[in-house]
Structure 1
Amino acid sequence: GVVCRRRAANITGSANTATQRQTVRFHTSMRAGVLITIAHVLLILAACATAGGDAAGSSSASADDDEKAYSFPSEMTCGVEEAVATFAAGCFWSVELAFQRVPGIIGTQVGYTGGSVERPKYEDVYAGATDHAEAVRLLYNPAVVSYGDLLEVFTSKLPTSDGHATVGSHLTFDQLVAKHNPKDDHGTQYRSAVFTHTDEQQEEAEAWKTDLEAERGPIVTSVEPAGTFYPAEEYHQRYLEKGGQDASKESSAPIKCYG
């Protein structure tokens, strides 16, 4: 009887020991699994952080490389089929405001294009040293406003040398010359041009010019493929709107070119 009890005790003890060993192995395995999982998570996080850092670094580098990169806020373009158009018609302040008022215009930006110098500054463009034209680049919804409509707005902003057309809708070209240095209004920076972004725009703009010349005679406005566009300094952006002039859609308030 004693031997049986000892054997039973030994069997029970052995079973308990085996169970304890299995429990230890189970917990050890669990800990190892958890550690491996944590290690994987840390590796993933590290990779993401590195990628994020690289992306941020690339973004920062890209921003440094081209701090004047042309763009519009994403909320402007979300769900919208947008297109780009660029026009030059003298002082870009009034031209921008005229386009701001057009339904279908999502965004505007004034800048310099058509020149031979990279990253031009206003002072250099103003002096006529870079061959750039003051221009307005537009983001628009072609489902609301057509390129032909934009050409009509552009036509309304074109100055003429005979003093009959107006610049900025309130001053004649001759009045501008009398008020400002003639070079300011006749230099390359104030030339008129249509800078096209697609073959369709090129064809439509050329047809527009042909029709306009049939009506008015030869015009100096050029039609040429769009090149690099350098946004102007921030204080030029929406200059007349910031000065209190009405930029609401379909506004007919007079545009005062010089504020």
Structure 2
Amino acid sequence: MGATGTGKSKLAIDLATHFPPAEIVNSDKMQVYKGLDITTNKVNEEECRGVPHHLLSIVDDPNYNFTATDFCHHASLAIDSIVDRDGLPIIAGGSNSFLHALVNHDSTFRLRYECCFLWVDVSLPVLHSSLSARVDRMIEAGQVDEIREFFDHSISDYRRGVRRAIGVPEFDEFLREETRGGDEMIKKKLLEVAIAMTKVNNCKLANRQVQKIHHLYKIWKKNMHRLNATESVFNKSAWEDDVAEKGRRIVQKFLYDDTSAFVSARMPLPSLPPTMASVTH
């Protein structure tokens, strides 16, 4: 678990390569849609390091509202399939409402699985600065061209589907001015405003996600572990000690040493496969 930009996908892949066979189930509500890979910050093939990913780019209709109910259905199918192949499911993504629905309200899931929650945390001032820098990298990677290809001037409702993704509505005025062939200075200013608003809204999203995680901690604190990734923002080598290695130790204990969860459930260990929940953006 963690706010956007804290490294959830990286940790999930690190764990998956350390505990094979493992597969990752995406729980980010924008990454389920096809397209806008830069804008929604999807992992690319190289970053996946050969680890199978589920629920990425599965929705064709950009206007379809993929709900928590949809997620529970598709995620349960993916998790059951992974477990049937004797694999370890790792859930990763920033949509905490999806995870909350699956773990707290899906009765079949609750009966079948125990979860270990890893919260990747970065102090908010540091995270805000990091998110701003990430937006700059996304712009350099071609985000404006990606949104330009996706833009439809006949649509102004950004409350449905993938158009809700941060980095899409913020560019509406700029792209409309560009379509009209407007003044270059005006377009330049609107582009600057769009980028600035994308940064602001990413920070607001991170704040909301952290608040939600604190709420979930009250529910799941027995099985929830906080990993402080703040230092790794400045020092990439700190990731291994502060996040990856600690995460591996926690998962090792969960999978092989700690049987209390199974005993409390009063079910034989083979009937209660473990599931890793490592949330995200």
Same fold per TM (> 0.5)?
no
**Structure whose residues are more often helix by fraction:** 2
Q: TM-score, normalised by structure 1?
A: 0.25
Q: Which has the higher contact order (CA 8 A, sep 6+)?
A: 2
Q: TM-score, normalised by structure 2?
A: 0.23
**Structure whose residues are more often strand by fraction:** 1
